[in-house]
Structure 1
Amino acid sequence: MASEPSSKARALGQLFLQRPSEDGSNARNIAWQIDHRLELVSFWNITSGSRVLEIGCGQGDCTIVLADAVGEGGHVDAVDPGAPDYGAPYTLYQSQSYITSGPLGHRISFYNAHPTEYLSSLPASAQKYDYVVLSHCIWYFSSPAHLSTLITAIAPWTQSLCLAEWSLRASDTRAQPHVLTALLLASAAAKRKVEGDGNIRTVLSPTQICSMAQSSSAFKLSAQGTRAVNIGLLDAYWEVSDTLRQREGVLKALGEEGVSEKELAAMAAMYDAIKAAVGILGEGVRGVRSMDVWVAKFQRVG
């Protein structure tokens, strides 16, 4: 596994809005994220001249890589329902505006819309997409039903559905706290009466996602893989450290919403399991690594 981001990732990372840092750490962290997206796009084999719909584009790290892949003859429509003022240290609007003002901006159109509403707004005569991409956005959905509904809406508009999400597999034992944290956050979200805005709201395994993608018989799995991610992805560190820090507040909120004593005890035990898994690592939470990623491609049937 590479010890530094690729030169291409560093170059594309310069097109992403980032805080300057004296030691260059912010640029390096973003380059690692871009490198990860480059691997995903390579797996999907997105070709030059393609028309791509990206769902759940967020601040646009994968969008940049897709725009690079489609070349001058292609285009990326990037859709996200998040509020324009959501995000830190920069908002979705700020990040997306920075990208569109850059050298790849003319290949990208950002839309602030719910994906199913965006798809339903397209006229029947609209050109279909060569690929529809969902990269690390499925766990943001408020319920599993949203994915099933979305795939049904996507089916008439593309021949290729490209998915990537965390796998719930830790080939490196240092990633085990990340797996446990994801399951804990999904469990907490399921018990809440009011939907939160966390990064993990509905955890689905690759097996579950495959089943949903193929349940309507519109798509058939053509390729999939599970692989370790690069050492520079800090997603696990962010999720694990935030989760442990917010333990008491979350348990208190759940209790006030009527979650039973038995369920709260189980939740507290899950927090303790994460803390114990982190404690095994010599560096503590700084030693946590991100879990493996699952990537897949589905083809339209018929």
Structure 2
Amino acid sequence: MDTAKIASQFLEKRSPAEPEVSSPSLNSQIEHRIALVSGPVWAIQKGKRVLEIGCGQGDCTIVLADAVTGSGEGWVDGVDPGSPDYGAPFTLSQAQSHILSGRYGGNIAFHNLTPEAYLAKYHGPVYDYTVLSHSIWYFENPSVINTVVASLEGKSHTLCIAEWSLRASSKEAEPHVLAALILASVESKRKEASSGNIRTVLSPKGIQSVVERDGKWKLVKEEVRQSTVGLLDAFWEVDYAIKTREKKLGGLRADGVSEKELAALVAMYDSLESAVCLLPEGVKSVRCMDVWVARFEAV
């Protein structure tokens, strides 16, 4: 797969001096997705039909389309319930429209629906693969993944999952693990639902347990690998957790969360800040935690 070719189809602000050159962060994101899609665990092949759940602005969708298209064959349905006007500097609607007007537009369709709603009304050919690439932690609660998996029965042969592993193989990745657990803990204590990036944290064992619960899917291959250098997810989450610390704690206190629970959260925040202080450039030195990649087959 050609990173530059794929990145050229993604909407982003480019330098007037070098409009054909993609940003390093986008290239890292594309390289990360390529490693998932073409790696030994997923090994997605040409000419296949793919359902992507939680497609967002479409960076993984483009990589999937590149993997499956050939001689006009191959198809990707991207499903995401996010508001069309969500996102910056470009919205979901703008990013997806740009993709549909480009090289892979004839092999992609986007659907602004919850995965449950989409699968309830889908009666087309069985998908060769269903992909959840870093989308599970966005779910409102753990029951959503169980509902989605149950809804896939008879509609997909293979389930491909990639999610953060909660394992840090370097000290630069430790703050990312801590930030994820903190943000998930805050979410679990809130009285009202939010639209945060991390709402449900499940470990690889937790995800496997949910997927295999009803005996309809079986894990056939998995690996935990270091994340691609240059991904910014860790920086975003760690920086956000630190900057919103007092606001989050104040909100929980106002919601009546006990002092004992708040004390535990304060200790977690302190641990995060201490881990960041050990890095040479602080938050700028943070690296994404390792990634769990799995492949389940329908039983």
TM-score, structure 2 length as denominator? 0.95
What's the Cα RMSD here?
A: 1.3
Give 5+ residue unaligned stretches, structure 1. Answer: 1-6
CA distance in 2, matches of 1:22, 1:211: 49
CA distance in 1, matches of 2:74, 2:57: 20
Residue aligning to 2:167: 169
Residue aligning to 2:27: 31
1:1-302 equivalences under 5 Å are 8-21=2-15, 27-43=23-39, 44-71=42-69, 72-123=72-123, 126-301=124-299
Return closer, same or farther for 1:22/1:180 CA change in 2, 3 Å cut-off. Answer: farther
Residue aligning to 1:3: none
| 1:198-241 CA distance string (max 9 Å, x none) | 11000000001011111111111110000001111111011101
Deviates more, 1:113-122 or 1:24-33: 24-33
Q: Could you tell me how far 1:23 is from its partner in structure 2?
A: 8.5
CA distance in 1, matches of 2:7, 2:266: 39
Q: Could you tell me how far 1:21 is from its partner in structure 2?
A: 3.7
| 1:32-59 CA distance string (max 9 Å, x none) | 1000000100131111100100000000
Residue aligning to 1:4: none
Q: Could you tell me how far 1:26 is from its partner in structure 2?
A: 6.0
Q: Could you say which structure has the higher helix fraction?
A: 1
CA distance in 2, matches of 1:259, 1:13: 45
Return closer, same or farther for 1:111/1:284 CA change in 2, 3 Å cut-off. Answer: same
Q: What is the aligned residue count? A: 293
Q: Could you tell me how far 1:10 is from its partner in structure 2?
A: 2.2
CA contact (8 A) 2:276 2:286 kept: yes
* SS class of match (2:296): strand
The one-letter code matched in structure 1 to 2:33 is R
* SS class of match (1:159): strand
CA contact (8 A) 2:162 2:292 kept: yes
Return closer, same or farther for 1:36/1:89 CA change in 2, 3 Å cut-off. Answer: same
| 1:91-147 CA distance string (max 9 Å, x none) | 110110010011111110000001011001123xx2110100000000001110111
* SS class of match (1:155): coil
The one-letter code matched in structure 2 to 1:179 is V
CA distance in 2, matches of 1:49, 1:247: 48
CA distance in 2, matches of 1:51, 1:21: 36
